[in-house]
Amino acid sequence: MREGRARGFSATCPFPGTTNPDAVARLVLEKLPDPLLVLDRRGAPVYVNGALRALLGDEITQTWSRMRPQERVRCLRAFLRARAGAYTACIVHLPQVGGESRPWELFLIPWGPVGRILGVTVRFRDVGSESAFRLFDDQMAAQLSVALYRLRSRANGERHYLFMSPVIGRITGYPPAYFLQPGAWLEIVHPEDRAGVHKAWAGFLQHPRIGHLLRLEHRILHADGQVRWVLDEACWVSTPDGEPCIEGMVLDLTERKQVEQALVRAREQAEEASRMKSTFLANMSHEIRTPLASILGFAELLQDELSALEVPQHFFEFLEAIRTNGRRLLNLINDILDFSKIEAGRMELRFEPVSIPALVDEVISSLRALAENKGLYLQSEHADRQLLVTADPQRLSQILINLISNGIRFTERGGVHVRTYRTEEQAVIEVRDTGIGISEQALPRLGKEFFQDDSDPNRPKDGTGLGLAISMRLARLMGGTITVQSQKGAGSTFTVLLPIRSRGGANGSGARPRVLIVEDIPENAQLLTYYLREEFDVHTVPSAEEALQWLEEHHAELLLVDVYLGPGMDGVELVRRLRSRPGWGSIPIIAQTAYASVAEEVKFLQAGFNALLTKPVSREELLSCLRRYLGQPAASRKA
């Protein structure tokens, strides 16, 4: 838990982000006999109630530095587990006002809206105080919508509930007294989940270690017959007489599960719609290409046959019109199919070493006649004839053909000049023309599908507005970008930027794969960087928003993402946004979390993570995971 400036009770709600606080809840927090501390995700105090101020004094943050080192570690571990979503507890000795140090039991509960953890609430219980638990439940559990309980383990292994809060009635439909009967809770567990719940509890009861946690998500049968989902969390704690017992909570997850199931159904419907669209386009492509091949083939055959006969010249003009418009239709079909594949994340690229100067010269050679027919020059200039990148040569050629042919199409005087060179990390291809240029209003929308700059009435009207959109997306798929500078009437410069560093160093330059770490705790980010720095090019950002911004300008071969980031977008939403982008279907994204149930792990994988690492993670475990996804050999040095 980090040091920070705590504030006492005021007219504002202690929970950040709440704009309409409940005055009764605020009064309960301030007057509660139990000391209470509210922390944000970084561990900084944001609220301290009166009981805790009376216990520790006004300088709350100094308590942390006066604690025993091993107890600070214990608190930090408990905080990280709670921030990851687990209800947890620990016992520490706290120096109080007057210098006395006494043992206190800390209960750490994550807080925030459904599906998002904004921080941790810490409740302090004097080990010698027996009334705190029930008083906390009576005054707080209803506000938190959780049912708290206390139980002991019988000699026969059954649970004997000593206390069950009234909130359980809202969750299950049964009064608290119902659960004081032996085996009552297991009777309402859904039959399909009953065996698993019984096994988990049996193992938990056999190991009465203080701080040992149990966390289960399962279904129950409500008294009205409906099936509901609950989260049951329990923790071994100590009592004033020194005997261990179990305190826990039951939280209704039904609403969250319904939302998750609705999202899954919506995603499945969207994926089915995407599959149907792809199938339709593939079928239409086949149906159009087949007759089009005959049309173009017979037009070319007729042109060859008629050239040996004396026929009017306009016959040849008719055949050329058929061939020209047939090829235009074929290009349109290809563009629509390419765009559909990119949009669906199904564009497959074949990466291999590519000589940029050789590829540029090859494309220029194929388009030179087009430029000469308009009386334009078409030139190339290469600062480094050995400039290599790892890319898909066919798709990179497609990008160059689009940019250079557009330059020729929109230029009437002068020509097109292509220049290649390298920077420290990128290969640069500049395509500069002396054409009509692009209006200032159109520049921000350039690259949008089907968009064309119609501000110039003399602008050629052919084209669909897909070529540049496809080129920009293909460049991103290869880890690069396309930028544009233009002025109306003064020509345009399109610049293709591609990373010289390749996937797994495949270009033979020895470059290391780039890994982006998204971690909001600086110490964790520093540790991960130290683990990876000898094998990977490591970059770190503290938030999902900054990760998206960084990825707009850079490329990473792998992302290592903390699931529960600070206020704002979490890691799950980040990976969902990235997976929706073209080209991100094959980029490995590894999740990190301090604690995750099996259900949450499934949720993370469904969201788009490739794997899940549970904190704390060892260096060898981390390196092994990254090597597996990046195809790196094991390091020869000793760890």
Query: Which pLDDT score, from 0 to 100, does residue 70 have?
Result: 66
% residues pLDDT > 70 (the chain): 75
* Cis geometry, peptide bond prior to residue 499 (ω within 30 degrees of 0): no
Q: Confirm if 568 and 545 have CB atoms less than 8 A apart.
A: yes
Cα-only R_g, the chain: 33
Please tell me the distance from the alpha carbon of residue 349 to that of residue 340, in angstroms, as a whole number: 15
Lowest mean pLDDT among 309-313, 495-499, 509-513, 522-526: 509-513
pLDDT classification of 571: cutoffs 50, 70, 90: confident
pLDDT classification of 506: cutoffs 50, 70, 90: very low
Q: Confirm if 87 and 117 have CB atoms less than 8 A apart.
A: no
pLDDT at 98 over 70: no
The residue-averaged pLDDT of 71-98 equals 76
The residue-averaged pLDDT of 422-439 equals 87
% residues pLDDT > 90 (the chain): 12
The residue-averaged pLDDT of 50-60 equals 76
Q: Confirm if 79 and 119 have CB atoms less than 8 A apart.
A: no
Strand 415-422 to 377-382 pairing: parallel
Q: What is the DSSP letter of 351?
A: -
pLDDT at 3 over 50: no
The first and second tokens of residue 91, run together, are 């016992």
The first and second tokens of residue 483, run together, are 């930028």
pLDDT classification of 417: cutoffs 50, 70, 90: very high
Q: Is the dihedral of CA 570, 573, 579, 582 positive or negative?
A: negative
The more confidently predicted of residues 596 and 332 is 332
pLDDT at 96 over 50: yes
pLDDT tens-place string over residues 383-416:
988 888 888 888 898 899 889 988 888 888 899 9
Average pLDDT, the chain: 76
How many residues are there in the chain? 639
Please tell me the distance from the alpha carbon of residue 566 to that of residue 118, in angstroms, as a whole number: 7
pLDDT classification of 99: cutoffs 50, 70, 90: low
Lowest mean pLDDT among 39-53, 189-203, 542-556: 39-53
Q: Is the dihedral of CA 165, 170, 172, 177 positive or negative?
A: positive
Q: Is 343 helix (H, G, I), strand (E, B) or coil?
A: helix
pLDDT classification of 313: cutoffs 50, 70, 90: confident
Query: Which pLDDT score, from 0 to 100, does residue 527 have?
Result: 84
Q: Which residue in the block uniquely carries the two structure tokens 């005021």?
A: 10
The residue-averaged pLDDT of 175-204 equals 89
The more confidently predicted of residues 337 and 166 is 166
pLDDT at 83 over 70: yes
Query: Which pLDDT score, from 0 to 100, does residue 421 have?
Result: 93
Query: For residues 190-224, b (16+ Cβ closer than 10 Å) or e, as one string?
Result: eeeeeeebeebbeebbeeeeebebbbbbbbbbbee
Helix ranges (H only) for 393-520 are 393-409, 467-477
Query: Which pLDDT score, from 0 to 100, does residue 27 have?
Result: 60
Query: Which pLDDT score, from 0 to 100, does residue 508 have?
Result: 38
The residue-averaged pLDDT of 107-117 equals 76
Lowest mean pLDDT among 52-66, 214-228, 454-468, 578-592: 454-468
Of 78, 121, 107, 108, give the one whose Cα is nearest residue 237: 107
pLDDT classification of 229: cutoffs 50, 70, 90: very high
Query: Which pLDDT score, from 0 to 100, does residue 343 have?
Result: 65
Please tell me the distance from the alpha carbon of residue 62 to that of residue 54, in angstroms, as a whole number: 14
The residue-averaged pLDDT of 599-607 equals 71
Query: Which pLDDT score, from 0 to 100, does residue 598 have?
Result: 53
Query: Which pLDDT score, from 0 to 100, does residue 468 have?
Result: 82
Of 90, 32, 337, 425, give the one whose Cα is nearest residue 238: 90
pLDDT at 63 over 80: no
